[in-house]
Each structure stands twice: as C-alpha cells, then as structure tokens.
Amino acid sequence: SQSTWRRPTSDMALIERARAAYHNADYNQAVSLFEECLATMEPSTEIYLDYAEALVQCGRLLDSLDVYSLCSRFTVVSSDRLKHVVSTFMELLTTKGQGCEDVMCGLGCSMCEGVLDHPVTLACGHTFCAACVVRDTAQQCAKCGARLGPTLETNVLVKKVVEKWFQTEIRAARLREEGNRLCQNSKFEEAISKYDQALELAPSHLVYSNRSHTLYRLNRLQAALESAEAAIKLRPHWVKGHYRRAVVMSAMGQHEEAFVSFATCVALDSNGEIMRNELTRSLKRLLVPSSCGRRLCVKTRWNSPYFSPSHFLPTVNSSDCEDNSSGEDEYQMQKKTVPKVQVNRRLHKVFGRILQEVSRLKRLERKPVQLQIDEKAVDPTDFDCILCCRTLWQPVTTPCGHSYCVVCLERSLDYSSSCPLCMTSLTNFVGTHTKSVTRWLEEALMIGMPDIYSTRLLTYRQEIDELERSTEVPVFVCTTAFPTVPCPLFIYEPRYRGMIRRCIESGSRQFAISACTLPTKQTVSGNPPPLRARFADYGTMLKIEDLVLLPDGCSILTTVGVRRFQVLSRSEKDGYDTAQVRFIVDTPIPEHQLKDIQMLHARVLSKGRWWYSKMPPRLQNEIYCTLGEMPEPEADWTTLDDGPAWLWWLLAILPLSKSLQIAILSITSLGKRLRAIEKTLDHLAANSEAMILAGVSPRITPSAAVS
C-alpha cells in the first residue's frame, strides 16, 4: 500500500545525486540525472517537479511547462514550485520588452501619460504629477532612476502654464478626481457619471482605466472590458490599461487572455512582486484541468498512488484551483503505466502569442502624449526670469518650486543661500554640483513658443562666441604660482565662485593667478596721488584638475601652473578682475652658452637638494603633502618653454619675498633664473654656517623672507 511502500536505497541515492547537482548549480547534470530517475524507477510528482525546475534553470522554459502541465493533472502545483519558471519568464519578457518602455512624454506626465496634475519637479529635472510620484514605491525618478529628494513642492511655473494651456484637460482631470473619490466611497454609479462627463470633455486613457475598474466593481464585466480596451487603444504602451484588461479577463474566466495581458504588463514595466504574483496565479489557472477535472484531481491525489492513462484529463480553461497542497506527496507509478511528457500545444501557443504581442508593441510607434495647446493662452511673459528679466534659459527649479535661469540662480546663490522669491533656505541646494535643467519648461518653450526659443538660443550662442573670442583672462588675485607646480586653493568669495564656474563650463578649466599688490601712494606734482594696480604685472595660468564643492557653496581646487604671462591691461567683470595678457617663454639658449648653462644647472640642482635635505622632517613632510616630491630634471630641459620643473618647485619653497618671487617669475633667461636661485641658496647656506659658528641652531623655513 501507499503507506508502507518504500523506495529502494539505490533509487534514493540517484535522486539525491540529482538534487545535489541542482543545488550545486550544475543544472545540465541535474536534468540528465532526473531523466535517468524517470526512465529507470517508479517516478513521483516530486521527481517530475524537481525535473521541471532543473529544465527552467537550463533555459528550457517550454519543456518545463510541459512537465508542470503533466503534474497538474494529478496534483495542485504550489506557487513555490512555479516561482522559478515565472521568474525566468519575467526575465525573458523584460529582455524582449527593452526598447518599448521609454515614454515620449511631450508636455504630459511620463508616468501616467496624462496632463500634469499638481506637477512636481525632481532634482534630476524631470517633472511628474505629484500623485504619480507619491504612489510609486521605488522612491526614484521613473525616467532616470535618480533618488527622490526629502520634499516635493509643486512647480509654481509649470502648474501655472499647464492650467492656462490645457484648460479642457484640467477640467476633465478634476472630474476624474471627483469620480475617484465617489468610487472610494462605493458610489459607483455616480462615479461612472463623472467619468462619462470627463470623457465628453477630453477622451483619456486614465478616465477609461478608472471607469473600467468601477464597472468591474459593479460586476459589469463586458462594459469594463470595453473601457480597458479603449484605454489600450489610446495608449498602447501604457501598462495599467493592459492590467485592467487582464483583471477583467480573469474574472470572465478567460485565463489565456488574462495571462497574455499580465505578461504584456511585465514586458512594458516589470513591477516586481505584484506582477510575479499575478503571473503565478494566472499560470496556475492555465495548468489545472477543468472544473470537473479539479474534483478528479483532488480525488486522484489522495486515493490513487499511481499515474495511469485513465487519469488523463482534458486541458481547457478552468476556474482557479486553490493551492491547498504542500507539494510533498509522492506518487509511485507502475512502469507500464508511466505517463510520457507531451507537448502542451495550448501553452506553447499562448507563449508564442505573448512574444508576438511584445514584438508588435516594439514595432509600434510610440507617440508623445497629445495635448492641444490653447494658442490664445500662450503668454511669453510667463517664461521671463525674474532675475534677468529675459526669457528663461536652461531653467532650473529650486526645492521650493520656483524656476530661474541656471546662471542667474547660481549668481544669486553666490551671495545668498535663500530663494530670491520666497526666501526659503536653499542651503542643501547650494552645494549641488550640477543643477539639472527642468526639461518640461524647455520643451514648453520649444513647442509653445518656437520663435521666442530660437531667438533666445541665438542670443545665448552669441554670448558664448563673444566669450570664446575674448582675449581677456579671469584673474584670481591671491599669490604667486609657478609653472608645473601644484597650487591648492580654497574659494570662498562669491565673485570667485562665479569665475571658477565659468572656467569649468567654458571647457578651458583655466584662469590666471597673480599676487596681490597693496595700493601705495605715489607722489605726482600737481595731481592727486594715484593708486597702483591691485595685482602684479606677472603671473601664471592655472589649470583646474579637480574641484570639491562644499555644502556651503565654497570649493577646494586642485590646480597646477601651466604657463606664465605678462599683464598688458586690466579690467573687471561681475566683480572679479580680468586682464589682457601676453604669454611669455624662455628665450632659446645660444649654442655657445649651452655647456656653461648645463654646468650651472647641475651646480644649482646639487645645492638645492642639499638645502632641502637639511630641513626638519616635519617641514619636508608638509612640503611633500602640498607640492609633491622634487621633480627630476627632464631629458630636454634646455628646450622647454619654462625650463626645468624642479627649479620652479624649489622657487615655491624658498623663503623669498613676494617681489623677488614675481621678479624671478618674469625672467625669460634660464641662465639668469639659475643664477638668482643660486645666489639665494648661497645666502641661506652662509646664514646657516654663521649661526652654527655663533652656537645657534639654524632654523631653515620657507616662510622666512630674504631681503
């Protein structure tokens, strides 16, 4: 009998080998061993189900469904047993559906594909209905995946424009909201009336979807199906329309159609566990026999230990078979009556239909959300930036919901961390490295006011061209820097924040640095004493290699000197200094002086290394952390525009006055520069010897000044 029957030990060993191969992810071996089990011993539903799971892992999806179909004639296949086949199928659908999931939003919401209702703009620049964002459990942008911010404020300008341009659609949306509230209060007939009024104003897939759901609640399934299909017709790529159709089809007992629609939902937008559960339930309905067969299925499961041909049941659509089985019962089979796994043509056909439908949707042109702009309501002044009084260009939206030109807002934030309109603190927004453009406002300008947009674009390009043609360079008045030598900087003044931002945005990533020269009165007979320039006549161009933006808007720059310049004229822009400059390079070394210069070079290099070696280790470590190691002489140092790099590195740490540093920077003769450095090193060495003879320990520090 079934209660006393025990499988032979050799059979159990083979089964355990097959299961071990499966757990070790050797799925092909597991399939072979399970097939051997089924061919050589009395099989059971458990072996068949294990075999089906191994087939799934090998990618043989349809073969596994044939096995599941066979098992479903004799037992209820548990949801847990189907999880692998459903997951694999979902992965296949997601792969097949790639290319048809991106929404052409136009001026609508790319989540619900309808008119924007209470629009919110995320930090990434994408705009959605507030309700759509709140409902989405992913907590990230549906377009780009960026994480949501802590607050979601209505975009004031977008809301104003939408309500002016799309008045009919907004009225229809309000009727839909009223219908939704009535439906939630179980006033279904009144809700349908509101939906019908909304459809008369502006046909919408959203209204058809909600109408379908309400009719479904009233059990008016045919009408619910018609509304669902109307939604699909309007927006074929909208997931919820297919979901509504699937739910109604399932309620009507048309499980094949329901399964196709659920699968289409996955292809368009794989929604994790929700779709996984729906697909699993729908697949179980396809696998189980008819309602008559269900009773026989349960009876066979408990009363007959064998599979036999008389137990085969027709495979047609049926009502759901509840999963009240643990799936652990074994059914031994007499070899002469062992059923063969046969192709379930119905299931194969359903899966083929699904792939065809996904392929059709991929080929189908995905049109933008069609919203008719009321031309009479278009007002160009709605898009004026309150800071520059010009048409918005590259508009960005603050967390409080106000929009400005990106350049205007950044300049404002350089001086104040509050919103210019409502004075809300934007402290966290200030430290954002890049402020994303509000895409909706850009598209609204291009679609609603193309001429104004083109004019603004032309103006912007002219401004950029003017900047690129300009021979002026921005000047950071601070200290003396040198070619090839690193120069770390802390930028905190508002005027220099804007200057650095422009350098990066222009792509040059370069600016000038020159030492500050304090104004001194000069006596000129008969005239008021004039003031000298704020910065020195010579300086160095710096290249920005890295930038760290701090939360308060300040920044730490990693820069390196690239070339020297002489100031020809001075000017000012947006509060910072600019200058017309002439770049300077060393004069070529005459052939007859080359040998002497090489000897001088070797001598000064030796003295410089000796002086550096005598520094306290702590000071050497500070220099290393700031400027790096002393460079080795280049092979072609005699032909370089600025001479050997080690000389500038040494000059940066020598205790020289500001005026001497500038004077040496301006020298275009390598020989003169080497002799000036040698003189300084000899002076430092002599001072050290004198201190030693006097019994005083010498203190060598780059901060000291040599007169």
CATH at 386: 3.30.40.10
Residue 564 has pLDDT above 90, yes or no: yes
Band (pLDDT 50/70/90 cuts) for residue 549 is: confident
Same domain? 394 vs 488: no
CA angle 640, 645, 646 (to 5 degrees): 140
Helix ranges (H only) for 185-290 are 188-201, 205-217, 221-234, 239-251, 255-268, 272-287
Residue 66 has pLDDT above 60, yes or no: yes
Same domain? 604 vs 687: yes
> Is the model more confident about 320 or about 496?
496
Joined tokens for residue 539: 């300086």
Nearest to 49 by CA among 83, 26, 24: 83
Residue 338 lies in a domain: no
Same domain? 547 vs 631: no
End-to-end CA separation in angstroms for the chain: 112
Residue 407 lies in a domain: yes
Same domain? 459 vs 487: no
Same domain? 477 vs 561: yes
> Is the model more confident about 554 or about 601?
601
Structure confidence by residue, pLDDT tens digits, 129-185: 999 998 887 788 888 888 887 778 999 999 999 999 999 999 999 999 999 999 999
Residue 234 lies in a domain: no
Same domain? 563 vs 615: no
Same domain? 456 vs 484: no
Distance CA 610, CA 468 (A): 47
Distance CA 279, CA 276 (A): 5
In contact, 611 and 679? CB cutoff 8 Å: no
So what's the pLDDT on residue 531?
Answer: 39
Residue 4 lies in a domain: no
What total of structural domains would you count in the chain? Answer: 4
Distance CA 674, CA 672 (A): 5
Residue 172 lies in a domain: no
Band (pLDDT 50/70/90 cuts) for residue 54 is: very high
Residue 398 lies in a domain: yes
Structure confidence by residue, pLDDT tens digits, 686-706: 876 654 444 444 444 443 333
What CATH number is attached to the domain comprising 498? 2.30.130.40
Residue 330 has pLDDT above 50, yes or no: no
Region at 484 (left for phi over 0; alpha for psi -120 to 50; beta for the rest): left
Structure confidence by residue, pLDDT tens digits, 637-671: 999 999 999 999 999 999 999 999 999 999 999 99
Looking at 9-13, 32-36, 383-387, which range is the least confident one? 9-13
What CATH number is attached to the domain comprising 60? 1.25.40
Domain boundary among 77, 96, 125: 77
So what's the pLDDT on residue 532?
Answer: 54
Residue 30 lies in a domain: yes
Same domain? 566 vs 645: no
Distance CA 192, CA 176 (A): 9
Backbone phi, then psi, for 384, in 5-degree steps?
-80, 135
Residue 312 has pLDDT above 80, yes or no: no
Same domain? 430 vs 446: yes
Question: Which residue range forms the structural domain that includes residue 561?
Answer: 471-518+533-583
Residue 314 has pLDDT above 60, yes or no: no
So what's the pLDDT on residue 305?
Answer: 33
Same domain? 475 vs 579: yes
Domain boundary among 77, 101, 129: 77
Same domain? 451 vs 477: no
Domain boundary among 422, 440, 465: 465
DSSP 8-state code for residue 336: G
Structure confidence by residue, pLDDT tens digits, 422-461: 999 998 888 776 789 999 999 999 999 999 999 999 998 8
So what's the pLDDT on residue 270?
Answer: 64
* Its pTM surpasses 0.85: no
Distance CA 339, CA 155 (A): 66
Residue 326 lies in a domain: no
Same domain? 553 vs 648: no
- Tell me the sheet residues that pair with 560: 486, 543
